[in-house]
Amino acid sequence: MQIKEQVVILVDEHDNPIGESEKLLAHQQGLLHRAFSVFIFRQYEGQQQLLLQRRALHKYHCGGLWTNTCCSHPYPDEDTLVAAKRRLFEEMSLTTPLKAVGAFKYRAEFDNGLCEHEFDHVFVGMAANDVMVIVDPEEVMTYRWMSVDAVQADYQAHPQQYTPWFSSALDLALAARQDNLQRQ
């Protein structure tokens, strides 16, 4: 299983698989690969809140930055939704239905020479307001629940404290949330 976790799915500009690469090599060479970002919401004291995580300091990039509830890469031959559910449980000990809400491409280069070039699939889910979160300390330093308005305000005031993909992924998650509210 350890070797499998270190391989990412290379994709073309339309998210069609074109091969596989060792994860670190893909990040060193800036190869476009499949990824996912999960956002978990809850209704708490009359407001919708979002669960954020602060990445562990020793992560190979973006250590100590705030980001969505969880994010990672599917294994080769693993469905992206299945991978998102798996990682949500592994990183945050949460199990909840997830809904795909869109995808986007981004590229971000880091001071350590690594590059994220991802086709990022975004998923959203709802948790009970009393859900217990237990983080994997290898992945997550800490977490917090914040109202959506507070998240947006904090990001606007301190964008450097968030991962480079956070804003684009959040836009998709919030657009989906807004669509669901309008349909009710």
Which residues participate in catalysis according to the annotation?
A: 71, 118
User: Which candidate, 90, 73, 66, places its Cα nearest to that of 24?
Assistant: 73
- Lookup: tokens for 12: 């073309």
Contact 32, 105 (CB under 8 A): yes
Sign (positive or negative) of CA dihedral 168, 35, 70, 28: negative
Sign (positive or negative) of CA dihedral 62, 137, 86, 24: positive
Cβ neighbours of residue 153 closer than 8 Å, sequence gap 6 or more = none
User: For residues 83 and 120, what is the distance between their CA atoms, to the nearest angstrom?
Assistant: 13
